[in-house]
Chains A and B, each alone.
Chain A
C-alpha cells in the first residue's frame, strides 16, 4: 500500500512551453500533497503544499504564477511549469500524506519527474 505515482517520469520540452506533471496517490486519499524540487547532489527543496479543494501554499521565493498547482481531487495533484526556461530543469518530486492516518505519519514519495528544458 501507500503508493504515489508521478507522470511523466521524464520530459523534455522547449523553452517557453508549459509542462504538466501529475502526482497520484494510488491506494489512499490525500488531502495534502507536497511538491519538492531537487537539484543534482542536493537536498529536497519544498516548493509548495497542495491542499485539496483550496489554493496551494507556496514557500518563500517560489513563483506562484510560474509553478501552478492544482489539487482537484483527493488522489491527484498537478504541477504545471509555465513558460519553462532552462533553469527550470530539475528533478521534481511529489509526496502525499494519507488523510486517514494521524498527522505524525510519514509522507509517501513519488518516483520523481526529470524535467529538461532545452
Chain B
C-alpha cells in the first residue's frame, strides 16, 4: 500500500534561515514524488517533483528537495526562508502506472520576520 508521512504538523523558522519540511513515503514500486503548497482557502500549487535521475530536485520559488531511496525520504528544503513562504505544504506520492496521488497530512510552515 502507498502512504506518505509528514511527521511535523508545524515547522517554525526565522526569516533568512534555512528550512526543511520532512516527508517519508512507502510504495511497493518506483515512486513519483511531489511537493505542493497551499495558501489559505486556495487550491494546491505545484512546487516540484521527482521522477527519476538526479536525487536533488529544484523547483519553484527557490525550493528544492532531496530524494533518498535508502531512507525513503523526500524532504523539502530552502536555503533562506521568506515570510511569504508561510503556508501549508503537502508531500504526495504516486506509484508508477497508477493515477492516484496519496497525500501526506500536511505541514504548516511559519516563517517569522
Interface residues of A (CB under 8 A from B): 4, 6, 32, 34, 41-44, 46, 49, 91, 93, 95, 97, 103-112, 114
Q: List 7 A-B contacts (CB under 8 A).
A: A34-B101, A43-B104, A104-B32, A106-B46, A107-B101, A109-B46, A112-B42
A-chain residues with CB within 8 Å of residue B104 when the two chains form the complex:
43
Query: B99 near A46 (CB under 8 angstroms)?
Result: no
Cα(A46)–Cα(B100), bound, Å: 8
Specify which of A4, A103, A114 is in contact with B99 (CB 8 Å cutoff).
A103
Q: Do A111 and B99 contact each other (CB < 8 Å), given the known contacts A42-B105, A106-B34? A: no
Cα(A34)–Cα(B46), bound, Å: 16
Specify which of B96, B100, B102, B105 is in contact with A49 (CB 8 Å cutoff).
B100
A-chain residues with CB within 8 Å of residue B106 when the two chains form the complex:
41-43
**Chain A nearest CB: distance from B47 CB in Å?**
9
Closest to A114 in B: B41
Q: Is B14 an interface residue (CB 8 A)?
A: no
B-chain residues with CB within 8 Å of residue A103 when the two chains form the complex:
97, 99
A-chain residues with CB within 8 Å of residue B94 when the two chains form the complex:
104
Q: Is B11 an interface residue (CB 8 A)?
A: no
A-chain residues with CB within 8 Å of residue B32 when the two chains form the complex:
104
Q: Is B90 an interface residue (CB 8 A)?
A: yes
Query: B45 near A104 (CB under 8 angstroms)?
Result: no
B-chain residues with CB within 8 Å of residue A111 when the two chains form the complex:
42-43
Cα(A32)–Cα(B98), bound, Å: 12
